[in-house]
Structure 1
């Protein structure tokens, strides 16, 4: 999922290519999930922005927006795999040589924007998983953060440095008894920090992700505050271009997890292990990140190149309707089978065996890693 740094990259390109221009042509594809679950429709979006001038662009964590010359304004969230492409501009935060990534219009587009004047700009919002959200917010442009969904989210560690102080952080971590990694990932606490940024911050702060937040001492909170601003500001300043990230960052070495004969280690030989915290896989350097207080549970760290434990084959899940995103409740209900007969019942010889649906590989999360 794009995090604070990746979203800042898009805001940079929006300001560079769209702000100050009129959207002379807007094309939309109806999607009752991407638009509908955010309380609008593709047609309403088109009507609200076509022919209008783009006045500005901004960000709060993983949310970003385009303000128009007059309300309503557009607030967007990429979800797991959404992105905004600008024709002939390198908006991606990783290198790609796939032919389909160079097609225009791109696949899975939700809206296409075209500006007037020369040079003309063409932009497209894409999302093949349909977990992104596009909404209209009717309010004064300078008050957009006072309205939903932005007002329900915590401060942005880059945009709101004057808010995210050591004192503020101490009060926040001390008020909750949850693993510190869980606290960082909760957007209601702090906006924009996702899985890789959370791991990077905790690595530099030398704090174990499982340790309860309310057990951190004063020095640890100061280190956490310093690491948060360092990681967030640096990655934003570099426009999420991981090729330019410092060589000593955990990010540079965490991606070998699961690759055969490729141990996860730092250049100095320190081992990188992986634990699950709050349902997310967390990269940890045990020699640096010590548990100095109670944790939710002790999990045996497993080397990334260790063979997976053998498990019994599970029943295949109910098949989702085509086009439904992961996490949707719109799955086909299971048919009620016949009542179980007594022990003397015998299966008929000509009764066909029920075939399990074929398994398909899950869609891989697009990482911030720049592909060479």
Structure 2
């Protein structure tokens, strides 16, 4: 699932290719899930966008929006496999080597946009799994975050850096008794942090993901706050291009899970293990992330050489969908997390996957925006 960093990448490209231009042609294919689940239709979307000027784009965590010259505005969420492609621009989150993937319009498109300039810019929102959401929000552009679904979500650690202070984080952590990883993943607390970013933050903070949030010391809260802003701001500045991520990041070494004879270790030999926290598979470095207080019961602990899964995010080789990316739908359809919530009655709400199927078989994909060198 695209997280804060990946979504910031597409907002960057929207600003570069679409903002300031008029949409002369908009086509939309109705999908009673992608549009319909949030009370919009393809016809309404097309009418709201066509002939208007794109005046801005923004982001709050995993949500992003395109603001128009007059309301309503488009607010979107990628779900697990959604993405916005811009013709002849390197925005891709995943790609395949099949010739048809270079065709335009791309497969599984939900809407197509064309601008009035010469040469015109063309954009397409695609989603093979139909877990994305596209809605219209009728409000002044500068008040969009005061309306659903954004108002129900927590602050964005990059956009709202002045809000997400050490004191704010400490109060949030101590107000709940849940595994700290689960708290980070709850979009009602903090917007945009998903599985890989949560693991990266906790690794840099040297905090075990199972430790209860209300047991962290002042020093641990300080380290967590510092790590959160470091990981989020760095990955956003690099437009989620993991080829440019620092070599010492956990991200660069976690994807060998499940590969035969390929140990999950850091360059210094420290072992990476995997366990389930908050319903998600978490990458942990036990020699660094010590348990310093009460923790949630360990569930489904997996060894680094587990035969399950073969995830690796990279530009050049085919991959399966991330095993540690449990399918979720949008934030407003939050439901109870399975295993870890049974261990803690106050555990988080997360996005639970809709029981839907794509209209066609989904393509075999290659990850793109988070790239790893061999």
Distance change (3 Å), C-alpha of 1:289 and 1:165: same
| TM-aligned CA deviation for residue 305 of structure 1 | 1.0
Residue aligning to 1:175: 175
| TM-aligned CA deviation for residue 102 of structure 1 | 1.7
Distance change (3 Å), C-alpha of 1:188 and 1:160: same
Distance change (3 Å), C-alpha of 1:130 and 1:225: same
Q: Report if the CA contact (8 A) 2:95-2:365 is conserved.
A: no
Structure 1 stretches of at least 4 aligned residues deviating more than 3 Å after TM superposition: 93-98, 298-302, 326-331, 360-369
**What 5-or-longer segments of structure 2 have no aligned partner?**
309-351
CA root-mean-square deviation: 2.1
Mapped pair 1:263 → 2:263 = yes
Alignment of 1:1-372 (within 5 A): 1-93=1-93, 97-299=97-299, 301-307=301-307, 327-328=353-354, 369-370=370-371
Q: Report if the CA contact (8 A) 1:207-1:220 is conserved.
A: yes
Alpha-carbon distance between aligned partners in 1 of 2:276 and 2:371, rounded to the nearest angstrom:
25
Q: Report if the CA contact (8 A) 2:128-2:363 is conserved.
A: no
Alpha-carbon distance between aligned partners in 1 of 2:365 and 2:124, rounded to the nearest angstrom:
22
Distance change (3 Å), C-alpha of 1:367 and 1:224: farther
SS of the residue corresponding to residue 27 of structure 1 reads strand
- Give the TM-score normalised by structure 1: 0.84
| TM-aligned CA deviation for residue 369 of structure 1 | 3.5
| TM-aligned CA deviation for residue 303 of structure 1 | 2.5
| TM-aligned CA deviation for residue 100 of structure 1 | 3.5
Distance change (3 Å), C-alpha of 1:298 and 1:117: closer
- Give the TM-score normalised by structure 2: 0.83
Count, aligned residues: 327
Distance change (3 Å), C-alpha of 1:285 and 1:11: same
Distance change (3 Å), C-alpha of 1:253 and 1:371: closer
| TM-aligned CA deviation for residue 328 of structure 1 | 3.8
Q: Report if the CA contact (8 A) 1:107-1:126 is conserved.
A: yes
**What 5-or-longer segments of structure 1 have no aligned partner?**
309-325, 332-359
Q: Which has the larger radius of gyration?
A: 1
